[in-house]
Chains A and B, each alone.
Chain A
Amino acid sequence: MTFTNAGTVLLIEDDEIMLKVIERILLKEGYQVLVARNGKEAMQRLEQGGFNLVITDLMMPYANGFEVISKVKSSDKSKGIPVIVISSVGNEDSIMEGFRLGADDFLKKPIMAGELMIRVKRLISTSKS
């Protein structure tokens, strides 16, 4: 188990299993994790700040992932924070819309945990530098 704080990740996911698994993997890799289970909680977390990376689902109750990306990228406080989208919606329009709004990466479910970790590490180190 790693105890160093490699960064703080805001994880937004309404699927309890995905949320729990990704949270455990991130914790194991030494990240601190803030979680939000729907769009409403996500918006509150975004107001509070204190994270280096956002991982978000697209389809969620109250506010969808696109609104989350817009919120992150429109605020001066958080616009430099990278956003990874994880979604089962993998059509071209959704991917393009996500990138157009400022998402930095897109992973389609089912995902590979190892691949997610590499992308998280890369984006956090890029944003820190």
Chain B
Amino acid sequence: MKLYFADTIFSPIFRRYFFYFDSYPLVIQIAIILTTIAITATIIAYGSILYRRYSGWKRDRRLAKLNPRIDDLITDTVILNEELALGTPPEKIELDLSGFARLKYRDMFVRQALIDRIMHYRKNFVGDLGYLLRQLYIDLDLEKDSVKKLKSPQWNKKVQGLVELTALDMQISDVNILPLTNSKNRELRAEARHAYIKLSKNEPFKFFDIATEPLLMWDQIELFKIITTNKDIVLPNFARWVTYSNNKSIVSFCLKLIIHYNQTEAIPAVIKLLDNRDHYLRADAIQCLGKLKVEEAEDKLVSIYNNQPLNCQIEILKALGRIGSGRHLEFLKSEFIRSQDFDIRKNAARSIIKHGALSQNMLGDLMSVSSEENQLILKHCMNPLIKY
């Protein structure tokens, strides 16, 4: 006899809720639908969480068995390599991979575990051991896996591939990496740019040429750290991008690098930037000229002062203080006395004080003739404990 669902013990419930569903008021109908959706969504969510946790637990259990075997193999093959101990140069050592064959390293899970483990070892060891670990990665053909990840449609896989290749100092062809430096995805873009600077030996800043996406402040900080801590990096003349780049964030970043590396050969390009229509870029250029103490730019800065917005005017005042030639002390004094804007007066005062001995007499005069508020500003700026 065929047993229908409606004939089971659930039938009274279903009859009650579904057979008479049409007869319920609309509010009740909506409530039933929403409740059903909520319960179903909760069940799916819990099911998915349980599934993920179970997969994670299974993966951890497998890794717990696998990692000690990998560690032993790496230790025997690389760390305690007999030939290395006998003084053979690492580039002449052929690694014995027979142990890895027993590990079934063709399995994707095992290969990923191997990559992760080799990366971890390489984070802790450089020199000959670092070289051999990289060699092991190449000999096991793990490089192909990482390059394959760069072509994955998932952005997180691409980032993973970049991290692996960067950690193991592998070269990535421009065809693979350059498009990623301009990706719409912020994380991927940042990682690709970091990787490009780290791995490109000849032209680490080539991606500046094609960058249309902005270089966000956080990216700039990260890139700045990578560039300034990498001793082997080939430094170009950053004036190239200051002059030709249409990407404002790249120009702004290059100005920071010009300051850091004291690239005086870039000064003409920076002075040209004072005519740029973007006032944020002008402010960055003025700051750059001030920090590089470009005395020949002082007259131009003073001449454009009155046509600038507040942020640029403040930068001009700061720049005059940094350059400190003393030729424009009267200008600073007049701005301090004349201006109604507090920031202008404060920065003019600071710049006058920065002139040191050159402005001693002027400071005495200002203290005697200034208003009470201006005297307070001067005293505040003269306090050596208050930095700016």
CA–CA, A21 to B129, complex, Å? 11
* Residues 1 to 58 of chain A near chain B (Cβ within 8 Å): 15, 17-18, 20-21, 24-25, 28
Can you show 12 pairs from A to B with CB atoms below 8 A apart?
Answer: A17-B117, A17-B121, A20-B75, A25-B79, A25-B80, A28-B80, A110-B124, A111-B124, A111-B125, A113-B125, A114-B127, A114-B128
A112, B124: Cβ atoms under 8 Å?
no
Q: How many residues of A contact B (CB 8 A)?
A: 15
Show the binding face of B for A, using Cβ within 8 Å. Answer: 71, 75, 79-80, 85, 117, 120-130
Q: Which residues on the A side are within 8 Å of B79 (C-beta)?
A: 21, 24-25, 113
In the complex, whether A115 has a CB less than 8 A from a CB of chain B is yes
CA–CA, A111 to B121, complex, Å? 11
A110, B128: Cβ atoms under 8 Å?
no
In the complex, whether A109 has a CB less than 8 A from a CB of chain B is yes
Show the binding face of A for B, using Cβ within 8 Å. Answer: 15, 17-18, 20-21, 24-25, 28, 109-115
For chains A and B in complex, what number of residue pairs have CB atoms within 8 angstroms?
Answer: 45
A112, B129: Cβ atoms under 8 Å?
yes
Q: Which residues on the B side are within 8 Å of A115 (C-beta)?
A: 127
CA–CA, A110 to B126, complex, Å? 6
Q: Which residues on the B side are within 8 Å of A24 (C-beta)?
A: 75, 79-80
CA–CA, A21 to B72, complex, Å? 10
Of all chain A residues, the one with the shortest Cβ separation from B128 is: A114
Shortest distance from the beta carbon of B128 to any chain A beta carbon, whole Å: 7
Q: Which listed residue (B120, B122, B123, B126) contacts A112, Cβ 8 A?
A: B126
Q: Which residues on the A side are within 8 Å of B120 (C-beta)?
A: 17
Q: Which listed residue (A18, A25, A28, A114) contacts B124, Cβ 8 A?
A: A18
Of all chain A residues, the one with the shortest Cβ separation from B85 is: A28
A110, B125: Cβ atoms under 8 Å?
yes
Q: Which residues on the A side are within 8 Å of B124 (C-beta)?
A: 15, 17-18, 21, 109-111
Shortest distance from the beta carbon of A60 to any chain B beta carbon, whole Å: 15
CA–CA, A111 to B80, complex, Å? 16
With A24-B80, A112-B125, A112-B129 known, 9 other A-B pairs at CB within 8 A are A17-B71, A17-B120, A17-B121, A24-B79, A109-B124, A110-B123, A110-B126, A113-B127, A115-B127
